[in-house]
Amino acid sequence: MILDLFFPNRCIHCSRIIDADLLVCDLCFEHIHFTHFDYHDENTITERCRLFFPVEKAFALMKFEEDGLSRTIIHELKYKSRESAGKTLAQWTSERLDFKNEKPDLLVSVPLHPKKLRERGYNQLHLFTEVLSKFYNIPFDHELVQRNQYSKAQALKDKKHRLETLNPFSLSKPITGKHILLIDDVFTTGNTVSSIAWEILKTGDNRVSILVMAVDV
């Protein structure tokens, strides 16, 4: 492609020229701090989620560190129009997440408010979810959970404000007897996934597990 000649894809960390479908070069890939969690064992996220709601299983792909490469990757995805990063993150996840014989019934990603979706142009979790759906052969539903309140990005709020935010979520339809894998980008306070989890858990005999791209450590 002519555009690739004049505007080659570069590693988001060191700026080396790399293949068009990559985020980082091989050297910088070694600096990504993956969690190496086992979905079926207790880990940091299951312990933290259980402080708020009865989570089944939980998995995080990376450690979200203030000066780490994972933070740069997430910010490229969310704030720099790098929607394709979701596909790369999904590929990395599929190489590390093994459901074994306990696959969830449905993949559900945290929604954006319609106004925020118009501003950003895409939900950073949708492509990630869709790639995983195809890989694991698990259906997804982008419409099940609705965000009813518009607010500024969680990353731009102080911790006290995040904790004080009222539950802005609701379900678009009743759902019963399902094991839902709820997907978010970064697990910080746990407030977002907890709010959605309780909406799912209060309607029928449902179960909730959590998958995040990164966990704040």
User: Which residue spans of the chain are classified as CATH 3.40.50?
Assistant: 33-216
Closest CA to 105 of 6, 204, 5, 213: 204
| Residues 33-90 pLDDT 10s | 999 999 999 999 999 999 999 999 999 999 999 889 999 999 999 988 888 999 999 9
What per-residue confidence (pLDDT) applies to 70? 95
- Token code pair at residue 125: 């979790």
Task: Indicate the DSSP class of residue 8.
Answer: -
- Indicate the average pLDDT of the chain: 90
Look at domain 33-216 and name its CATH class: alpha beta
Closest CA to 49 of 61, 34, 60: 60
